[in-house]
Copies of this chain bind each other. A is one copy, B any other.
Amino acid sequence: MKKELTTIQRDILDFLIDQIKGKGIPPTLAEVADHFGYRNRATVQQHFSAIEKKGFIKKNPKLSRGIELTLEDKFFVPKPILGEVAAGNPLTIYPDAIDTIELPTIARMPKDSFLLRVKGDSLKDAYIFSGDIVIVNPNLEPKNGQIVAAVLDDAAVVKRFYKKKNEIELISENPDYKPIIIEKKYSSFKLVGIVVGVYRSMEKKKAG
């Protein structure tokens, strides 16, 4: 039995997870159809059947909104890793995916977010270690003290963010590393996004 979801099926599953984890309650067929622009519930119904057959959801027959997510272990979806970022010193960020990781979808990843793998230990006191995958949301305003991903001269870093009067400070949680200070005018600095989550695979990790 093939357990690979098609693109559309994964989109629908993502929407399901999004609703269940986010809004708290599973959508109806009609709501899903509406969201994806289907003119018909039957289409969604058939997608559900396909997804259920592949073991990702379970339908409680006859019950409205009776969709359950199956065993969470199954919810590992391959996602592209867009690059590596340095928690210590800046590293390269790649335009395209350099790798994929099996990310548990419970580690809720907003649609507009992406993944970066952390190298270095400058954030170890914030419980982010080398080899960890950070989930970055580019559509959030950073608040002081939050951990952000940023690009400096075509390299990327993950640091804790502090905005001051005329400069921005990116500091490490590890005293071995000095803060990076960016003056307002400094242009080659670009904030990539807020780190909204960290995932660590407990399997063997080939971290650097």
With most chain B CB atoms within 10 A of its CB, the pick from A25, A28, A64 is: A25
A53 at the interface (CB under 8 A from B): no
Interface of A is mostly: loop
Instruction: Provide the bound-state CA to CA distance between A65 and B26, in Å.
Output: 10
Mark A12-39 against chain B: 1 for CB-CB distance below 8 A, else 0: 0000000010001110100000000000
Q: A25 touching B26 by the CB < 8 A rule?
A: yes
Selected contact of A64 from candidates B20, B24, B64, CB within 8 Å: B64
User: Which chain B positions have C-beta within 8 A of A65?
Assistant: 25, 64-65
CB contact under 8 A between A20 and B28, given known A64-B64, A64-B65, A65-B65: no
User: Which chain B positions have C-beta within 8 A of A25?
Assistant: 24-26, 65
Closest B-chain residue to A24, C-beta based?
Answer: B24
Q: B28 touching A64 by the CB < 8 A rule?
A: yes
Residues of A53-82 at the interface with B, using a CB-CB cut-off of 8 Å, are 64-65
Question: What are 5 A-B pairs at a CB distance below 8 A?
Answer: A20-B24, A25-B25, A25-B65, A28-B64, A65-B65
Contact surface of A with B, Cβ cutoff 8 Å = 20, 24-26, 28, 64-65
Additional 7 contacts, C-beta under 8 A, given A24-B24, A25-B65: A20-B24, A24-B25, A25-B25, A25-B26, A64-B64, A64-B65, A65-B65
